[in-house]
């Protein structure tokens, strides 16, 4: 009877309204009218990892609520990160391949695999943000009989009793509050917001080299062309500086869909960051400026640049972002967007920029079919790293470093997934801190598969906070800064998120908390690979 009443109330809420695309969401008005609800699993954060957790739990029989302060689902995958970060695609399964398969099928329907544009799909691993969002909404819609999605809801507080979270309080877009209870909670945010509200200890900045014996930790300079550290400047000291964020932008040269980039009102505030480009072009350090990575249908994805001393990245501006409230985050979102708009406008119009560069850049603009409710700029800032919880297990640089005696990365107890990317960190300080033309904090290897980071195991305990038994944190998990540079990839977070969703449902079935669960069967059930030769 209780479950029947829940479904009846849920159906009424869904019928009250919501977003008019594939996946219906509970409208703010309907949410505010609901009495406090009890769920099996509550997921906060509709990143790909959060979605994977919510959907998997719902498919396994849980009553799930998925809440997020953004109005659209999909995190960075639906907001500009359109080239999936997977060096070794064969190591991924589960939700990752489901998402990629649906992207591929969608493009087959709208393009056909004989189309000239098909090559830009890369078998489903590259996609337009609007297509990624469409796929996520489709996946959510298929689970909606057991899943309530609450977009635009900010987490106000989490109530903890003993070693368990018992409820959270969410603020609706109109400012009203709604309370949700659950038996299991999952933090699917990039920033680790739910864990922080539950008073879980965490870190944001960078450990020093000596703390975990990580050669790439702390204040770090490297010549990424040779892969060598710059010994005279590299100190390995701990630092509060974190890697830069950016507005990972989508442009087009298609005149039928191109929207001219306007000079932002804050242009003069950002101008000092662009002016050094004049000397970069004069000296020959810069010879051209590309549009970004080609995507289907004449779109281009522009990212912050590892090599460029000036790019879409804004090193230094973001250091306080992970711990900020929603109002300051919105200001930083606006700051990064204005920086991107002003940079492109500068390259298009400033007379000191070489004419061939200006002429090339004047051909591109925003696309009228992307981010249509957000001025055609991405709605999610590229948060490359947020908080990192203190968990019951720690992932470090050593997890992804080959042991010469075995030729493999070290074995990990209770492995539930794999990290397989390169060490990949964007600059932590701006160009004023560059040494020999290389920016502080950068870790990057052009030949990623051959780099020092090799596939390594992720322990279940990295998702488990030390003192909370019914919370899993599959995104802002327990790791060092260096290790997070491998973990911070959407396919990894989709995988750990899916494991978290399965763990939540399994804990309900076994009438225990996720901290008491034996995680060994979980990756096997999901057909997730947990071992590799390391090469």
Among 304, 239, 302, 242, CA closest to 273: 304
pLDDT at position 36 is 56
Tell me: do 346 and 265 sit in the same domain: yes
Q: Mean of the pLDDT values across residues 410-426?
A: 96
Name the domain boundary from 367, 382, 399. 367
The reply to whether 180 falls in a domain is yes
pLDDT at position 533 is 53
Q: What's the rounded Cα separation, in Å, for the pair 435 and 224? A: 12
Q: Which residues pair with 418 in a beta bridge?
A: 457
Residue 270: pLDDT above 60? Answer: yes
| Mean pLDDT for all residues in the chain | 93
Residue 222: pLDDT above 90? Answer: yes
Tell me: do 51 and 180 sit in the same domain: yes
Residue 305: pLDDT above 70? Answer: yes
Q: What's the rounded Cα separation, in Å, for the pair 22 and 183? A: 29
pLDDT at position 24 is 47
Q: For the chain, what percentages of helix, strand and coil (3-state, to nearest 5) are there?
A: 35, 20, 45
pLDDT at position 21 is 28
pLDDT at position 33 is 45
Name which of 223-227, 301-305, 434-438 the model is least confident about: 223-227
Tell me: do 255 and 186 sit in the same domain: no
The reply to whether 146 falls in a domain is yes
Q: Mean of the pLDDT values across residues 88-106?
A: 97
* Contact yes or no for 350/273 (Cβ under 8 A): no
Residue 416: pLDDT above 50? Answer: yes
Q: Mean of the pLDDT values across residues 147-163?
A: 97
Domain that includes residue 321, residue range = 249-367
Find the CATH number of the domain harbouring 488. Answer: 3.50.50.60
pLDDT tens digits, one per residue of 354-390: 999 999 999 999 999 999 999 999 999 999 999 999 9
Length of the chain (residues):
535
Q: Which residues pair with 185 in a beta bridge?
A: 42, 471
pLDDT at position 3 is 41
Q: What's the rounded Cα separation, in Å, for the pair 217 and 296? A: 38
Q: What's the rounded Cα separation, in Å, for the pair 325 and 340? A: 23
Name the domain boundary from 367, 395, 411. 367
**What are the start-end ranges of the H helices in 350-424?**
355-361
Residue 97: pLDDT above 50? Answer: yes
pLDDT tens digits, one per residue of 481-528: 999 999 999 999 999 999 999 999 999 999 999 999 999 999 999 999
pLDDT at position 517 is 97
Q: Mean of the pLDDT values across residues 390-404?
A: 97
Residue 465 half-sphere exposure toward CB, CA atoms < 13 A: 29
Residue 192: pLDDT above 60? Answer: yes
pLDDT at position 265 is 98
* Contact yes or no for 412/399 (Cβ under 8 A): yes
With a pLDDT cut of 70, the percent of the chain lying above it is 93
* Contact yes or no for 95/52 (Cβ under 8 A): yes
Residue 32: pLDDT above 50? Answer: no
Name which of 146-150, 285-289, 527-531 the model is least confident about: 527-531
The reply to whether 222 falls in a domain is no
pLDDT at position 13 is 43
Tell me: do 95 and 176 sit in the same domain: yes
Number of domains present in the structure of the chain? 2
Name the domain boundary from 315, 342, 367. 367
The reply to whether 514 falls in a domain is yes
Give the pTM: 0.94
Q: Mean of the pLDDT values across residues 140-169?
A: 96
**What are the start-end ranges of the H helices in 369-466?**
none
The reply to whether 70 falls in a domain is yes
Q: Mean of the pLDDT values across residues 273-283?
A: 97
The reply to whether 116 falls in a domain is yes
Tell me: do 77 and 148 sit in the same domain: yes
Tell me: do 154 and 277 sit in the same domain: no
Among 219, 211, 264, 269, CA closest to 240: 219
Helix, strand, or coil (residue 254) = coil
Tell me: do 72 and 172 sit in the same domain: yes
Q: Mean of the pLDDT values across residues 265-270?
A: 98
Q: What's the rounded Cα separation, in Å, for the pair 279 and 273? A: 12
- Radius of gyration (C-alpha) of the chain in whole angstroms: 23
pLDDT at position 113 is 82
Tell me: do 75 and 130 sit in the same domain: yes
Tell me: do 62 and 180 sit in the same domain: yes
Tell me: do 167 and 259 sit in the same domain: no
Tell me: do 480 and 358 sit in the same domain: no
The reply to whether 298 falls in a domain is yes
In 45-153 the beta strands, taken as DSSP E runs, fall at 64-67, 147-150
- Per the model's pLDDT, the better-predicted residue between 152 and 36 turns out to be 152
The reply to whether 424 falls in a domain is no
Tokens of 332: 């930083």
Q: What's the rounded Cα separation, in Å, for the pair 456 and 401? A: 8
Tell me: do 349 and 476 sit in the same domain: no
Name which of 46-50, 91-95, 356-360, 531-535 the model is least confident about: 531-535
Name which of 9-23, 92-106, 273-287, 366-380 the model is least confident about: 9-23
């Amino acid at each position: 009877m209780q479950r029947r009443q829940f479904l009846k109330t849920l159906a009424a809420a869904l019928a009250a309204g919501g977003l008019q695309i594939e996946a219906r969401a509970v409208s703010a008005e309907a949410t505010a009218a609901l009495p406090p609800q009890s769920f099996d699993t509550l997921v906060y954060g509709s990143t790909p990892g959060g979605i994977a957790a919510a959907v998997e739990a719902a498919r396994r029989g849980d009553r799930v609520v998925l809440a997020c302060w953004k109005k659209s689902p999909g995190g960075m995958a639906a907001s500009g990160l359109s080239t999936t970060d997977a060096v070794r695609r064969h190591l991924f399964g589960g939700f990752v391949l489901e998402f990629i398969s649906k992207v591929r099928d969608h493009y087959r329907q709208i393009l056909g695999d004989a189309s000239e544009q098909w090559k830009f799909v890369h078998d489903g691993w590259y996609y337009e943000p609007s297509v990624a969002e469409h796929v996520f909404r489709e996946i959510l819609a298929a689970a909606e009989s057991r899943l309530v999605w609450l977009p635009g809801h900010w987490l106000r507080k989490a109530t903890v009793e003993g070693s368990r979270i018992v409820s959270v309080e969410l603020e609706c877009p109109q400012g009203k509050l709604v309370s949700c209870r659950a038996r299991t909670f999952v933090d699917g945010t990039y920033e680790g917001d739910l864990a922080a509200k539950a008073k879980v200890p965490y870190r944001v900045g960078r450990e020093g080299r000596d703390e975990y014996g990580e050669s790439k930790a702390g204040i770090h300079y490297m010549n990424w062309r040779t892969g060598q550290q710059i010994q005279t400047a590299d100190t390995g000291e701990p630092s509060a500086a974190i890697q830069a964020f950016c507005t990972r932008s989508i442009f087009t040269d298609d005149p039928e869909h191109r929207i001219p980039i306007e000079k932002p009102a804050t242009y003069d505030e950002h101008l000092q960051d662009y002016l050094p480009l004049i000397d970069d072009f004069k000296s020959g350090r810069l010879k051209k400026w590309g549009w970004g990575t080609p995507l289907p249908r004449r779109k281009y994805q522009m990212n912050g640049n590892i090599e460029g001393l000036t790019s879409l990245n804004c090193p230094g501006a973001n250091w306080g972002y992970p711990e900020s409230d929603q109002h300051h985050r919105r200001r930083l979102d606006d700051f990064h967007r204005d920086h991107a708009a002003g940079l492109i406008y500068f390259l298009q119009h400033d007379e000191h920029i070489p004419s061939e560069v200006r002429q090339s850049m004047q051909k591109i603009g925003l696309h009228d079919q992307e981010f249509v409710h957000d001025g055609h700029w991405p709605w999610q800032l590229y948060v490359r790293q947020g908080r990192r919880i203190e968990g019951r297990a720690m992932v470090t640089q050593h997890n992804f470093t080959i042991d010469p005696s075995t030729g493999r990365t070290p074995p990990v107890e209770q492995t539930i997934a794999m990290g397989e990317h390169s060490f990949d960190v964007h600059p932590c300080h701006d160009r004023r801190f560059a040494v020999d033309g290389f920016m502080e904090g950068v870790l990057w290897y052009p030949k990623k598969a051959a780099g020092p980071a090799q596939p390594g195991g992720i322990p279940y305990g990295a998702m488990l906070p030390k003192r909370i038994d019914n919370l899993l944190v599959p995104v802002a998990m327990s790791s060092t800064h260096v290790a997070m540079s491998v973990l911070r990839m959407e396919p990894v977070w989709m995988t750990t998120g899916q494991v978290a969703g399965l763990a939540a449902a399994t804990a309900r079935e076994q009438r225990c908390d996720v901290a008491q669960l034996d995680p060994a069967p979980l990756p096997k059930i999901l057909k997730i690979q947990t071992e590799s030769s390391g090469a």
